[in-house]
Every structure is written in C-alpha cells, then in structure tokens.
Chains A and B, each alone.
Chain A
Amino acid sequence: MQAVPKEDLNLVAETLAGNQLSFQLLVERYQSRMFALVRHYTRNPVEIEDIVQDTFLKAFTRLPGFQQQSSFYTWLCRIAINTSLDFQKRCGRSPIKGSEDPESGLTAESIHDARPSSSPMPAPDARLEQSEIAKITHRVLQELPEIFRTVLVLREFEDMAYQDIADVLGISIGTVESRLFRARAKFKDKLLALHPEFGDGWS
C-alpha cells in the first residue's frame, strides 16, 4: 500500500480548518489524473469536466470522514469511478454488466470459461502507429463489461498495486486477481472479435 504523502495530509488538515487555497492545491495536484481516469467512462469533454468537478466537490464534502489508511489519490479514485457510473445511470446509459460473484474463487469450470480462446494473443504490430494502437485498445475496453474495464484501467493505466485496486473497489486482493484474469481473457476475445485479421498470422 502506498504511504500517504505528508503534503496531502497537511493540505487535507488545512482544508478542514477552512483554508480554501489548500483545497485548491489538492485539486491542482490530482486534476490531470482524474481527467485521465474519467476519460475511460465518457469521451465527451464537457461530461468529463462535470464528473471531475463533482468528484472533487464530493471529496470535499466527505473529507471529515477520510480514513488516512489509504492514500488520498486511492480514495479520490473510488469517488471518481462511482461518480462516473452514477452519471452514466442518470443519462440512461447503463454500463455493460459483467456476471461475477465477487466473493467466489476460481473453480476449474470458471477458469475454463474465462480462459481465452485458443488463438494466441496478438501483439500490436510495429507497422501500427501508437495512436492506432491506442484507438484499438480504447475501443476494446469500451466493449468490456464495466467491472472488467475498471480493473484493467486501474492496473494498466493507473499502475495501481493490487492492494490499492482492492481499496478503490472495496474487494479482496483475491477478487482483484481473479477479476483481472477474467478481464484479460475477455480483452483478448473482444480484440479478436473486433479485429479477426489480428488472429490470422498477424504477428
């Protein structure tokens, strides 16, 4: 687990004491990362700004209850993800649901079900531009059920440790492991479904 940076704690304490500038500094510190995170839930710049703004406003309201066992950033991520999902619901956009019992372990059947198709996972070809690879990856992510997309985003884009992912999502480390396993299998299957050409001797 990441140690809580001293400066964050100071800024939190000063904000709680009524210092508006300290809260502004906290927002400045994390605003870019929040914009990046929320971008995985909507591509509309206006919606992204609204969700990030509401994330910080909710964080301010809940600041007295901030448990300093996790980092401020981890805590903020949890609020941002919930705010993004609430926003989708209010707009009538139900995220694609994935069926998973969060507390269940991996059985032989579930491993078999989650196991990716027999085709090997294609690596992106050197002929593809970085922007093209990014576009394909984001498109595949958008097609994944929300619980699998979120866990992949936190691991692959936010570089979060499993313990931090567990804290953000309120699940056990074992569930993080099994959810990532399923998410990666689904990513591969969806990639090959959207781009079957990659499975035919692409790499």
Chain B
Amino acid sequence: MEFTCNEAVPLIGAYLDGELSEPRAALLRKHLLECHLCRNATQDGKSLKRWFAPAKAVAEAPLVSAVPNGFAARVARRAFAGDTGDRSAPFTLQPRTSDGRVLAFIVAATAVAAAIALVLALVARGTVQPTGTHLSADDRTPVSLTQIQSELEKLNQGSAPAPLEQR
C-alpha cells in the first residue's frame, strides 16, 4: 500500500506531533522520500511550530505573577459558601449543613433583631412627647379638631370684617 498526496498531506501535522501510529508513519515516510511537494509541506509544518514556541515561552513568563494573591483561598471560600459560578442565576447563600442549622440560626437572629428594633422604637417614641401647655411653632403636642375649631371661632368673633354695604 502506498499513500497518495491527498492521503499524506493531512497526516503531516500528526506525524510532526508524534501522534501517528508507526504503520501510518512508515507509509508517510516512504511517500515523503518520493514526493518533494509533500516534503515541502512537512517543512511548512516545522516552520509553523517555530511561531508557537516563542509565543508559549513569552505567554507563560508573566502568568505566574498574574494570579492574584489569595486567589485559591477566596475561590475555595466562595465554593463552600454555595457560589456555583453560574452567572446566569444570581448568587444566593446556600448553607451546606445537612440539618439546616445555619439557616435556622439566621432566621432566629433576624427575628430577635426585629423584636429589639421594635422595642427601641416604642421607647424612643415615648421619650419625645412634649410636656408644655402652650402651642408653639416647634411644639409637637397633638391638637384635637375641637380645639382648632374653638380657636377659629374666637378669632372670627374678635376680628370679623363688617358686612359690605349694598348700593
């Protein structure tokens, strides 16, 4: 069996990569001895590899320092906190304890905090009640509707304008 050029050319890359099985490599070598066009294609493959070797060396050099300090520890913490890395869904805290103790603690702590806040609000409301007896601009004493009506009536009686004379 012998290779044609169309059979040989696609195998040259694998041959240079050392990935061709020995029977196929032997057939390719035989073809290369007889075909200068395919020998040129082999030289092309070698030239191409020379573009990658320096690029690989240059790319690798700065990457050791490109990894931020503490990266691995941060990723491990996030992983164990329940971050799945799936950015199509928002990250939510998922307790990893099987009995849900962490979740129960968070709910209980929130309830206690809310109760304390309510008590403090009630106490604070009681302390700001004004104690004076007269109305002033900054007096926040609640005034009833009856009191307002009474004040208005007094004002009307004392300074009511005279009725217009009819012509």
Number of interface residues of A (CB under 8 A): 62
| Chain B residues whose CB sits within 8 angstroms of the CB of A124 once the complex forms | 50-51, 54
- In B39-65, which residues have CB < 8 Å from any A CB? 40, 43-52, 54-60, 63-64
Binding stretch for chain A, among B68-76, B127-135, B139-147: B68-76
CB-defined contacts of B87 to chain A, threshold 8 Å: 54, 87, 90
Whether, in the assembled complex, B79 has its beta carbon less than 8 Å from a beta carbon of chain A, the answer is yes
Q: Which partner residue on chain A sits nearest B71 by CB separation?
A: A31
Does the CB pair A39–B59 fall under 8 Å?
Answer: yes
Contact between chains at A35 and B85 (CB < 8 Å): no
Verify if B115 is at the interface (C-beta below 8 Å from A).
no
Q: Which of B7-15, B27-35, B117-125 is the interface stretch? A: B7-15
Chain B residues with Cβ below 8 Å from A78 are none
Instruction: Please classify the interface of chain A as helix (H, G, I), strand (E, B), loop, or mixed, using the class held by over half of its residues.
Output: helix
Of A28, A48, A152, which one neighbours B72 at CB under 8 angstroms? Answer: A28
Q: For the complex, what is the distance from the CA of A162 to the CA of B15, rounded to whole Å? A: 12
Interface size on B, as a range, is 35 or more
Partner of B79, one of A35, A56, A120, A180: A56
Of A64-72, A94-102, A181-189, the one contacting chain B is A181-189
A38-68 interface code vs B (CB 8 A; 1 in, 0 out): 0100000100110011111110110000000
Provide the bound-state CA to CA distance between A165 and B53, in Å: 19
> In the complex the two chains form, is B10's CB within 8 Å of A111's CB?
yes
**CB–CB B54/A53 < 8 A:** no
Query: When A27-B72, A58-B84 are in contact, do A161 and B19 touch as well, CB less than 8 Å?
Result: yes
Report the separation of the CA atoms of residues A27 and B72 in the bound assembly, to the nearest whole angstrom. Answer: 5
Instruction: Mark interface residues in A167-184 (1 if CB within 8 Å of B CB, else 0).
Output: 000000000011011001
Q: Which residues of A contact B73 (CB under 8 A)?
A: 24
Q: Are B71 and A27 in contact (CB under 8 A)?
A: yes
Contacting chain B: which of A1-9, A129-137, A142-150? A129-137
11 pairs, CB–CB < 8 Å, chain A vs chain B:
A18-B96, A20-B79, A27-B72, A35-B63, A56-B79, A61-B84, A108-B6, A134-B57, A157-B55, A162-B19, A178-B10
Interface residues of A (CB under 8 A from B): 18, 20-21, 23-25, 27-28, 31-32, 35-36, 39, 45, 48-49, 52-58, 60-61, 83, 87, 90, 106, 108, 111-112, 115-116, 120-124, 130-131, 133-134, 136-138, 140, 152, 155-157, 161-162, 177-178, 180-181, 184, 187-188, 191, 203
